[in-house]
A and B are shown apart, each in its own frame.
Chain A
């Protein structure tokens, strides 16, 4: 290591020698940097998983345009939309197909543990609106009371889910009805519910008697291939006279939902703050270590100054120390962060992952912020007056 640094810096690796001279302090500093890294990794992991979880249900459907109530910030939020607007929209030459989408939470009390399914009521006669990943057994939904279940739902034993087939359906009671799960798809628990469920709009309405077929939660539209989505959205906004409605491209709707989760919802904001606090903790630790180290070596630095070493030399030493701390603290931080995320993913069934993007971001951030702390710490060096040495 010492040789490598000597080669990199073209001089004695004084920073490295200085840091490793006090092993206890060095170890504590590395632990601190690693801790800050872990903090950031966990928060970033949560943020990423929230993004994945938020966008996941959008992936179940294939649509170009979505019409929602003005207060529908997320799929499962907000008022209904009158179905008459779908009929209006269908008059547009580029709109080929429309479907009302119903959303509601359906609890399944399993005696002791309850699984809450975010349930989508769809029109089984319009399979084009469903992504191939969920459309397995879609035709079965034509029968009243049939459901397609999320086999990755939190709290649903894997073997129980794996056994669900049309020949061996799973029956369960909920909201005063009996549902028959005949097929499954891969969803997964999110922050809002434990998993997902697909039923026909008719079945949905039987579960929620207060809802009517005239007012779904969202209206999905498909456009003719090659149609300009932006232009169509603009036209539809003109046609739909209820200006409180949100007429958006389907992709925009997903992104706006994500943005809403990250900036308006407490969980998203907390994760963001967590990242900030991790960065601050790291910054303070590195700064503390470096400035204590500078203070401890005032005499030596003053001696080097007297000998004729200039300010760049001292900045070099402190930056070298910052780099060493950043690099060597990052590696255990990455290892521990990965382990914790893996463990948390297991326990929560949230999609918590260490991604290469996160690793690179945190690595670059660690090095940059360590260097920044180093630069701040060198300000104390001005106090090393070589004339005081005599």
Chain B
């Protein structure tokens, strides 16, 4: 079924803390992300954007409700299962989180080889291609310390995309970048995602990004308060 959504969230609730400190952060969230969509998640600070992203991204265990990722239910999944699921995803963080001791190309290779059984030469070719796509062919052997902020984030994009993930999750990937670099990075995500049929869920406060979205979801106090699609 090609039309099955990449992500289907149903009646999702989530709590942090225990006892008196227990606090609900997600209330009855239901949403689905069709294949190839580019969705922006907005909302004030503390509204639960990151929480939702980590639940969909298998970084937190689902407590209540249902999250189906690539057709698999995450509720009740064990740690190994979640780790394996994460290998199908691409993550982009606010900070680039590149490994300081690895070159740009080596960082991207780590993304290519996370799924077992990818031979070295194939991973290296894929990394070179991915760095070419983000316009860094001439920076392959640079350590992160010798790259600009925008370049580092583009390496992170290459690392997230190199394995052809079905879903890319990005949490404020442009927050630390200047205007031009930010636009660059988002355009890249959008363009490369569209070319590969990648589904993207991107958290941002950045109004410049909104006009590039297919769909904008707004969260407030752990609830979806608006869902506007262009389509």
Contact = CB atoms under 8 A, between A and B. Distances in A.
B218 interface: no
A390 B110 contact: no
In this complex, the member of A21, A299, A305, A306 whose beta carbon has the largest number of chain B beta carbons within 10 angstroms is A306
A386 B114 CA distance: 15
A303 interface: yes
Contacts of B53: 390
Nearest to B102: A17
Contacts of A306: 57, 59, 86, 91, 93
Interface in B111-138: 111, 113-115, 120
Contacts of A17: 101-102, 106
B130 to A, nearest CB: 14
Contact of B94 (A6, A11, A390): A390
B91 A307 contact: yes
Contacts of A305: 83
B78 to A, nearest CB: 12
Contact of B114 (A10, A18, A300, A309): A309
A21 B101 contact: yes
Interface string A306-345: 1111100000000000000000000000000000000000
A128 interface: no
B80 interface: yes
Contact of B86 (A20, A300, A307): A307
Nearest to A387: B59
A310 B80 contact: yes
Interface of A is mostly: helix
A12 interface: yes
Contacts of A390: 50, 53-54, 59, 93-94, 171
A310 B83 contact: yes
Given A307-B91, A308-B87, A14 B102 contact: yes
Q: How large is the interface on A (under 10, 10 to 19, 20 to 34, 35 or more residues)?
A: 20 to 34
B102 A308 contact: no
B60 interface: yes
Nearest to B113: A11
A389 interface: yes
B99 interface: yes
Nearest to B86: A308
A304 interface: yes
A6 B124 CA distance: 13
Nearest to A19: B101
Contacts, number: 70
B166 interface: no
Contact of B111 (A18, A21, A307, A389): A307
A304 B83 contact: no
Interface string B143-167: 0000000000000000100000000
B23 interface: no
A389 B97 contact: yes
Contacts of B85: 308
Interface string B58-91: 0110000000000000000000100111111101
B109 interface: yes
A305 B83 CA distance: 8
Contacts of B50: 390
Of A12, A299, A309, which is in contact with the most chain B CB atoms at under 10 Å from its CB?
A: A12
A322 to B, nearest CB: 17
A11 B83 CA distance: 19
A308 B101 contact: no
A303 B97 contact: yes
B214 interface: no
B100 interface: yes
Which among B50, B87, B93, B101 has the highest number of chain A CB atoms within 10 Å? B101
B228 to A, nearest CB: 24
Contacts of B88: 308
B108 to A, nearest CB: 11
Given A300-B99, A303-B93, A12 B110 contact: yes
A297 B110 CA distance: 15
B83 A14 contact: no
**Of B109, B113, B159, which is in contact with the most chain A CB atoms at under 10 Å from its CB?**
B113
Contact of B100 (A10, A300, A310): A300
A11 B88 CA distance: 19
Contacts of B94: 390
A299 B97 contact: yes
A74 to B, nearest CB: 57
Interface string A356-390: 00000000000000000000000000000011011
Given A306-B91, A308-B83, A390-B54, A300 B60 contact: no
Nearest to B119: A10
Interface string B13-57: 000000000000000000000000000000000000010011001
Nearest to A297: B99
A314 to B, nearest CB: 12
A12 B114 contact: no
A389 B173 CA distance: 12
19 contacts: A12-B106, A12-B109, A14-B102, A14-B110, A17-B101, A17-B102, A300-B99, A303-B91, A303-B93, A303-B97, A307-B87, A307-B110, A307-B111, A308-B83, A308-B85, A308-B87, A310-B83, A390-B59, A390-B93
Given A12-B109, A390-B54, 14 more contacts: A6-B120, A10-B120, A11-B113, A14-B99, A14-B110, A20-B101, A300-B97, A307-B110, A308-B84, A308-B85, A308-B87, A308-B89, A390-B50, A390-B59
List the 8 closest A-B pairs by CB distance, nearest first.
Answer: A308-B87, A21-B101, A308-B86, A387-B59, A303-B97, A390-B171, A17-B101, A390-B50
